[in-house]
Amino acid sequence: MERQAAKQKAYSALSFEVCQSAGYEHIQEGTVPVDLVAPATALRCSDVSYGAEAHRHGPRKGDVKLLIVDYPMDHQKDKAWAIRYYADSLRRLVRNIDAVTGRTTTEDDLAREIKLRNEGRRRALEIAELWWSAANPPTNGQDRGTLFGLGRLEAHGDPVASLSILREAKGIIEKRVKEGHRAQGVQPDAARLFVCGACVSPNSARTEEAGGIIVGKDDQWSDIVTLVDESGDPYYELAKAALSFPYEQSVTERARWTVEQIRKSRAAGVVYLYKWGCNTQSAVAAPLIDEIKALSGIPGIIVEDDLGQSQTEQKQNRVNAFIEMIS
């Protein structure tokens, strides 16, 4: 109830379409100490940039440093000016973080982190290839998502620990695949689903009860499959990689990449989920699903999710009906 109350209060200050509303309210009330708000204006979240701007007018205006990392859009991944522009934004972000922490981040520091995170990406890709190749899903969908997601080492607080888990997990997955192990709770011949969209997914356990299993998701996986060149200026190479994330490309290019992931994962259907108010994802859902169908013949469904609840009964019922159809 407290969480919902914070969201509703923030909606009145920002907009009823804003996804990150509770975070805004907690910062403004001072219950969460924040020194810097620095979102990137990528396509996955349409509200973060004006959400950051809203901090200029709240009760704590002036107390929190604000910085928008501007992400060039519209086919900019191969344009040198766009890469340099985004690299400069990343340099500015690091300088601001250093000012808050009192540390100095060097290019050598950044280069070492790039190498570490590239190893995490490679390990996650190896595990994905093993998992997808199995006759039976070697883990349930929730564990699969967690393992694949560990490839984003920065998302879990301790990159070294995440990398250690990935190394150990590969051996476990190899053994399960070799023995034909089928994960507990996963039904024989479960309908394999690939999920598209941002920040929302079907409930893994409910999906498996209905005879399906989630075998992949484009959001975040798009980042993991994109290795950063380790040979050049680290800021430039980071910017170049970020601008080439498949998730952020045109509908046609994103669809081609998604179909490649669908074929690798042997998915039988695509579920596109988005939160109501996520303007970019809601706009691209129908054309992307249409393009995927045209390229692969794989059936798809589009499901809108309520901003207030992460796992609504209505959403899961539609996913379960889709599983029944493709089964």
**How many domains in the chain?**
2
Query: Are residues 305 and 176 both part of a single domain?
Result: yes
Query: Are residues 117 and 62 both part of a single domain?
Result: no
Residue 30 is predicted with a pLDDT of 81
Query: Are residues 161 and 46 both part of a single domain?
Result: no
Query: Are residues 253 and 149 both part of a single domain?
Result: yes
Query: Are residues 170 and 319 both part of a single domain?
Result: yes
CATH classification of the domain holding 161 = 3.40.50.11900
Query: Are residues 249 and 119 both part of a single domain?
Result: yes
Summarised one tens digit per residue, pLDDT across range 99-123 is 999 999 999 999 999 999 999 999 9
Query: Are residues 9 and 133 both part of a single domain?
Result: no
Query: Are residues 111 and 62 both part of a single domain?
Result: no
140 in any annotated domain: yes
Query: Are residues 21 and 144 both part of a single domain?
Result: no
Summarised one tens digit per residue, pLDDT across range 126-166 is 999 999 999 999 999 999 999 999 998 876 678 889 999 99
Query: Are residues 135 and 47 both part of a single domain?
Result: no
Global model pTM greater than 0.85: yes
Query: Are residues 250 and 199 both part of a single domain?
Result: yes
82 in any annotated domain: no
The boundaries of the domain holding residue 26 are 2-68
Round to whole Å and give the CA distance between 64 and 11. Answer: 20
Q: What stretches of the chain show up as alpha helix (H) in DSSP?
A: 2-13, 21-29, 48-54, 80-101, 107-133, 141-149, 159-179, 204-209, 221-224, 234-243, 251-265, 279-296, 313-326
76 in any annotated domain: no
Residue 172 is predicted with a pLDDT of 96
Q: Which DSSP string corresponds to 91-141?
A: HHHHHHHHHHHT----HHHHHHHHHHHHHHHHHHHHHHHHHHH-SS-SS-H
State which of 37, 53, 68 marks the end of a domain: 68
209 in any annotated domain: yes
Query: Are residues 23 and 134 both part of a single domain?
Result: no
